[in-house]
Structure 1
């Protein structure tokens, strides 16, 4: 079994390369897909790849439907006029169209399918919580709730946070080829609590105004390689873009810098690698997985042994790896857990909401790596609170060791990791309850009796 030499482990536990790069990324202030900060972030990542000794570092551009934030506000009439227009109260959801709508306001609770079935939302401004009850059995994504409001004929959409802190949540609701259908904003838990109280006494009149810009722009992928020139390769991935309301420190600055750090550590043991490793940082994940889909559509996926995607790591040092039912990946991280004597959670479940998904939906072996945190839902993610002060460089060091050790095992020539028929991936996705939600959100990728994928049917948003 391939293991990481103790000298490499020692290097990882004293490294600050990832922390320094993370500081540089958050200091860009805004890494929204297709905007200047993402361009500069891509350049920083490429520079890191080159300085760490990886080969063939490059940046590839591709077109996306861009979105630029303007102003937004919500006004509610109840005995007096209440206006919510501060950034700690409301933020427009990326992909929303501009609009100015006045209508009755209705709260549909958690926004479960049955909540919409039992409500008349036509012509109204609909509000749904960001929470999915633990006992419901599957996660109801923001896009599904927005999609249900659109199909019901709603005039506008409010997404209220279920976590404290005056932190309105953001997240994309755009369509594959442009803006969404109705204006949409996130509101803080505190504003949402007040609005729920108003709705309990009837359906107050509200006015939702959103000013923004929707037009095409370019995003970019950054990549470099380490290891032998084999026909087969292991992809180690994350995404460089982030929502503009915060620093994007955790989502997904942590994943981005871990890709660079893993690459750096692998360069030090390059002669021991059996398989080429491609360090690949995608653009435009948060607005539709565009970078991952672009790469998947323009490369031969038969050459990909597996993809190891880091998204959601950083708020602790305990790794959490979702294998999508590819047992050899789970076996690799079980070995890491036993050899290093550290906790590593391994889950066989499907997670169709990040950059590994364009590969997994095509049968490519893939995993999403996260870390266990106590916060419900995204925690600070997708809010103004996603900032560097929430993170600890010691967690990054621990995760770098675990993830590097896992990648070395995935690249082991004696470890066979086979792809799966697309129909098998489809069936697992259905069995785990994702079909209804993905269809409701407009991103179900499997069609036809042979379950051929339609990779162009973008899985919208931040998965």
Structure 2
């Protein structure tokens, strides 16, 4: 199947995706469960309606919410200094409010080996770990693992220092499904982190103060359909929430805008199977929107899931297939036919909304773009803003994704599911460790 020339031409000339993205970033704070996330969901619902999708509506669900207050990092020795304000320090969502004083212990990149090497020093200390994952690691090490390792080794607070320069402290969830976490936690910039690491070599005492709230609230998914009213559906998804300190342009306003744009393009395509467009809430704090969808849908009727996250940084696609070759091969055929680059990875990864479906054996892929700023880059910082993106990229990405989704919706496309036991066996030991540490291991019934 190929998109009609008129549809491709429409994609190349329309400003719909960029306008939707602009509306989303102009909302500002889209933190899960807060007013901005509600407003972002309304932007998407209206975009779905303007795109001609069927029955755009909002589905609400309960989540554990988190609200940021003021945070302070006070350095007592060897040189007194106070870091306050969001350009200096950021509390990490899911941590508790509290204050703790201790000696800074630098655990480098925060690998399991580095924590063990400093185990005797961490009790009663403040652990300092980089956001970097070393090249020799066999997988990405999540901040939550570093946070939990710090607490498990007796640290009274956790400092997460950015490895990307630019005086931007990082934020990001540490509580996940065990909220609130055990110790206060702050993100600090690469520059502040380098100073702390230097001070730690001669003895550095600090006080970490975090003011925040952990309270129940509600989040929301936005849902609409395109194509025939079949029982089976291909899901095209993204998350609309972003961290409260960020416009969330690439992570993940671009993905949400692309879901609306691809839905708009597919409205003019003769599809064999329904495509359900969903933007999830609360991805950044534990994939709650995706879990809500996975728990309320008949998963046997989900043909496959294409999840867009961080898909606005370039025109070069990356597909994390989670071992579902049937979906990856469709993207490979599309990029070959359209002479476009493609990077693939078959690791079964628990990061991203597709995981809620992958864990149940539903074919689901993470689709993003790769660029010089790949990796976390500006994500989860103040700097994830619209000016980092190029409006010329979204049309190319939209065409590639629309072509792939249309082919996946064809009666000729086969996307076999796997069993939960098969998925449990396919997960690397490192990710098994991470999932259990974060309270997210879904296979206790199989153990």
Evaluate the alpha carbon distance shift between residue 327 and residue 376 of structure 1 in structure 2; reply closer, same or farther with a 3 A threshold.
closer
State the partner residue of 1:454: none
2:435–2:441 CA contact under 8 A, matched in 1: yes
- C-alpha separation between the residues in 1 aligned to 2:350 and 2:302? 19
State the partner residue of 2:356: 358
What does residue range 126-205 of structure 1 map to in structure 2 within 5 Å? Answer: 126-176=127-177, 178-202=179-203, 204-205=204-205
**1:81-108: CA deviation from partner (whole Å, max 9, x where unpaired):** 2111132221111112110111111111
**1:87-140: CA deviation from partner (whole Å, max 9, x where unpaired):** 222111111211011111111111000111111312111110000011211110
- C-alpha separation between the residues in 2 aligned to 1:112 and 1:177? 21
CA displacement at 1:441 relative to structure 2: 3.1
State the partner residue of 1:244: 244
Evaluate the alpha carbon distance shift between residue 140 and residue 134 of structure 1 in structure 2; reply closer, same or farther with a 3 A threshold.
same
Q: Does 1:117 align with 2:116?
A: yes
State the partner residue of 2:436: 439
CA displacement at 1:177 relative to structure 2: 5.6
CA displacement at 1:314 relative to structure 2: 1.1
State the partner residue of 1:91: 90
The range that moved more, 63-72 or 421-430, is 421-430
State the partner residue of 2:40: 41
- C-alpha separation between the residues in 2 aligned to 1:37 and 1:86? 21
Name the SS of the counterpart of 2:282 in structure 1: coil
- C-alpha separation between the residues in 2 aligned to 1:59 and 1:177? 27
State the partner residue of 2:69: 70
- C-alpha separation between the residues in 1 aligned to 2:176 and 2:6? 48
Structure 1 segments unaligned to the other structure (5+ residues): 452-463
Task: Work out the number of aligned pairs and report it.
Answer: 445
CA displacement at 1:415 relative to structure 2: 0.9
Structure 2 segments unaligned to the other structure (5+ residues): none
1:74–1:206 CA contact under 8 A, matched in 2: yes
2:77–2:206 CA contact under 8 A, matched in 1: no
State the partner residue of 1:384: 382
Q: Give the superposed CA RMSD.
A: 1.3
- C-alpha separation between the residues in 1 aligned to 2:228 and 2:60? 26
Name the SS of the counterpart of 1:268 in structure 2: coil
1:65–1:177 CA contact under 8 A, matched in 2: no
The range that moved more, 371-380 or 229-238, is 371-380
State the partner residue of 2:299: 301
- C-alpha separation between the residues in 2 aligned to 1:388 and 1:9? 24
- C-alpha separation between the residues in 2 aligned to 1:403 and 1:351? 21
1:292–1:355 CA contact under 8 A, matched in 2: yes
CA displacement at 1:439 relative to structure 2: 2.5
- C-alpha separation between the residues in 2 aligned to 1:376 and 1:39? 29
State the partner residue of 1:108: 107
- C-alpha separation between the residues in 2 aligned to 1:365 and 1:79? 54
Name the SS of the counterpart of 2:292 in structure 1: helix
1:146–1:441 CA contact under 8 A, matched in 2: no
State the partner residue of 2:229: 229
State the partner residue of 1:213: 213
Normalized against structure 1, the TM-score is what? Answer: 0.94
- C-alpha separation between the residues in 2 aligned to 1:376 and 1:89? 24
State the partner residue of 2:373: 375
The range that moved more, 323-332 or 216-225, is 323-332
2:177–2:439 CA contact under 8 A, matched in 1: no
Name the SS of the counterpart of 2:428 in structure 1: helix
- C-alpha separation between the residues in 2 aligned to 1:89 and 1:64? 29
1:144–1:438 CA contact under 8 A, matched in 2: no
CA displacement at 1:447 relative to structure 2: 2.2
The range that moved more, 121-130 or 382-391, is 121-130
Name the SS of the counterpart of 1:27 in structure 2: helix
CA displacement at 1:175 relative to structure 2: 4.2
Name the SS of the counterpart of 2:59 in structure 1: strand
State the partner residue of 2:254: 254
1:56–1:225 CA contact under 8 A, matched in 2: yes
- C-alpha separation between the residues in 1 aligned to 2:401 and 2:358? 19
